[in-house]
């Protein structure tokens, strides 16, 4: 992958995975095989996200659910998102920040899904790395913005445009499958991905500037400012 300030970012699904991405994919694959062959009941009952348990006695489900995929299609989709978007992010930001992005998007997205599910579907089963995948896509678009990329080596477009396309496709798939709770969590994960790539600082600075401007406006209203500047009258001793 080229530097962020280079004129073109060459990305494709065939990109060689970075070490962090590869390690996550290996864990996901291992959990998938255990669920398919060995102990599916344990994986579904204790590693997937069940709102009543995740917000109760088994809070680790907020993270472990990202590694649980109940079908090959879900695993394949997560692998594509991590390979295509996660690999350049890890190479740009480093492995530590990549893992931080993955974990924070996963946990916040899972909390959002579990929060809604705890009210209306407390025993529903949620699995997959949707929040993390959407977080990676949003972070990719935020990091490279208008940088042109070669999508699959053929179609040239802005990185932000590519991110919006994949976010739209992912959202449409959630809606088609009536996975509204999971969609809400995935969108929260996308928001976290966008904020985690430096936009959080800009957003915080903007809010702080607005607050200071509001304080100054209140002071002006409370105290009348006299025009004319410094009093030039003489002082009598």
Query: Mean pLDDT across the stretch 116-124?
Result: 93
Domain that holds residue 66: 19-197
pLDDT tens string 82-96: 999 999 999 999 999
Q: What is the pLDDT of residue 122?
A: 95
Q: Is residue 98 part of a domain?
A: yes
Task: Name the H helices within 55-145.
Answer: 61-64, 72-81, 87-93, 95-120, 130-144
Query: What percent of the chain is modeled with pLDDT above 70?
Result: 79
Distances (CA, A) of 10 to 20, 94, 149: 20, 18, 5
Q: Is residue 219 part of a domain?
A: no
Q: Is residue 29 part of a domain?
A: yes
Q: Is residue 10 part of a domain?
A: no
CB-CB contact of 20 with 90 (8 Å): yes
Q: Is residue 177 part of a domain?
A: yes
Burial of 95 (0-12, 13-18, 19+ CB in 10 A): middle
User: Which pTM was predicted?
Assistant: 0.79
Q: What is the pLDDT of residue 157?
A: 86
The H or E element that residue 202 is part of is helix 200-222
Q: Is residue 156 part of a domain?
A: yes
Count structural domains, the chain: 1
Q: Is residue 210 part of a domain?
A: no
CATH number of the domain within which 153 lies: 1.20.1540.10
Whether 71 has a pLDDT exceeding 70, the answer reads: yes
What does the radius of gyration of the chain's CA atoms come to, in whole angstroms?
24
Q: Is residue 24 part of a domain?
A: yes
């Amino acid at each position: 992958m080229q530097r962020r300030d280079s004129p073109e970012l060459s990305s494709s699904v065939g990109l060689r995975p970075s070490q962090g991405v590869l390690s996550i994919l290996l864990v996901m694959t291992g959990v998938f095989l255990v669920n398919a062959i060995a102990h599916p009941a344990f994986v579904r009952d204790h590693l997937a996200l069940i709102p009543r348990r995740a917000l109760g006695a088994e809070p680790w489900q907020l993270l472990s659910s990202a590694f649980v995929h109940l079908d090959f299609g879900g695993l394949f989709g997560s692998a594509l998102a991590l390979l295509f978007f996660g690999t350049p992010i890890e190479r740009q930001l480093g492995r530590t920040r990549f893992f931080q992005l993955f974990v924070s998007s996963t946990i916040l997205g899972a909390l959002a899904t579990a929060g809604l599910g705890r009210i209306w579907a407390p025993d529903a089963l949620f699995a997959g790395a949707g929040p993390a995948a959407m977080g990676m896509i949003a972070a990719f678009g935020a990091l490279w913005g208008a940088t042109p990329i070669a999508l699959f080596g053929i179609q040239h477009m802005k990185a932000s445009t590519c991110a919006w396309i994949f976010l739209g496709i992912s959202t449409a798939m959630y809606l088609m499958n009536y996975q509204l709770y999971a969609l809400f969590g995935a969108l929260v994960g996308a928001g976290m991905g966008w904020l985690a790539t430096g936009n959080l600082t800009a957003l915080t600075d903007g809010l702080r500037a607005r607050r200071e401007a509001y304080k100054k406006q209140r002071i002006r209203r409370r105290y009348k400012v006299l025009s004319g500047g410094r009093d030039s009258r003489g002082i009598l001793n």
